[in-house]
Structure 1
């Protein structure tokens, strides 16, 4: 059994962790269907393991050096590598507003991502004052670490920066998903508040 299989079993066997992952962190193992024909540009298949409410999906790639990298593909046609294995991906997913952090990255600038992450964390804490407790409960249930946000940003940036060429998501028709980094440094309407 791989560490990814073990983690997925832990999620399935921990109703509280499964519920929190689904409701607070957008990682729903019951939402694995994501159309047909997505693969890596190399032709390697992707194994769907979870989805999120906006239609995006998380995929495991083929094992490499004893680990199975995790790729995310959004319903808007963006995709790429988010972590080198499922444990790293889950630490990023529970510890960081990672999709918005990538979206407001100034085209992939790690320093812009760090600033964005700070603003996103403040916004998240206002909307969900229990987020730190929820993170700790999920991490404990799955034997994961609660990692400082700045460290998660660097890990996410390093992974996303390695998307091309090996982890570029494509359709069976050969259409390539956009890279994970967004061009904006902050929201266009109103900025960070």
Structure 2
């Protein structure tokens, strides 16, 4: 069974990913036709409530890189593999608020989320346990995200398929 199949069969994790993670496994077509500059294949795997799309890149299974494209023309490679993406969402569901990839941004966002949802960390831990994942610290998750964005990310340029314009980077590390 693939990680995606295991994930879909784990309601506690799917629920947490949906909220607060804003990572819905109901894939759909992105707001516009897009392609990778490299010509590699894109497979829509999830969406967010604001119209963004998570893509698996290239050939293979759940181990493929995960690229996120928002509905406003921004994109970034987020993880190497769906399992790593889920760990990021579990550790830092507010990753979009961390455009500079700093612990300070994460701490501010965490404070806001925890004030509104005091059971958030317990729910996260239950979701992680249900799928058998260890949750990295926010610092570890952001360090890995920075590594992916800065290292591999440059090789994953998303283009509007009609106009040929490149999507803008969503992080400023």
* Aligned with residue 145 of structure 1, among 130, 134, 139: 134
What is the aligned length? 170
Q: Distance in 2 between matches of 1:136 and 1:73?
A: 27
Q: TM-score, normalised by structure 1?
A: 0.80
Residue pair 2:76, 2:171 contacting (<8 A) in 1 also: no
> Are 1:171 and 2:160 counterparts?
yes
Q: Distance in 2 between matches of 1:80 and 1:101?
A: 13
Matches within 5 A, 1:151-162: 151-162=140-151
Unmatched tracts of structure 1, length 5 or more: 184-193
> Are 1:99 and 2:96 counterparts?
yes
> Are 1:132 and 2:129 counterparts?
no
- Structure with the higher strand share, 1 or 2: 2
Query: 1:138-171, CA deviations, whole angstroms, 9 ceiling, x for partnerless residues?
Result: 2112221111111111011111113553111111
Matches within 5 A, 1:30-179: 30-63=26-59, 67-96=63-92, 97-102=94-99, 105=100, 113-162=102-151, 164-173=153-162, 174-179=164-169
Q: Pairwise CA RMSD of aligned residues? A: 2.0
SS at match of 1:158: helix
Unmatched tracts of structure 2, length 5 or more: none
SS at match of 1:162: helix
Query: 1:101-155, CA deviations, whole angstroms, 9 ceiling, x for partnerless residues?
Result: 12xx1xxxx5xx1211111111111111111112112211222111111111101
Q: Distance in 1 between matches of 2:122 and 2:88?
A: 16
Deviation at 1:19, TM superposition (A): 2.1
* Aligned with residue 22 of structure 1, among 12, 18, 22: 18
Residue pair 1:59, 1:72 contacting (<8 A) in 2 also: yes
Residue pair 2:44, 2:56 contacting (<8 A) in 1 also: yes
Q: Distance in 2 between matches of 1:128 and 1:84?
A: 30
Residue pair 2:75, 2:170 contacting (<8 A) in 1 also: yes
Query: 1:71-117, CA deviations, whole angstroms, 9 ceiling, x for partnerless residues?
Result: 00001111011011111111111211111112xx1xxxx5xx12111
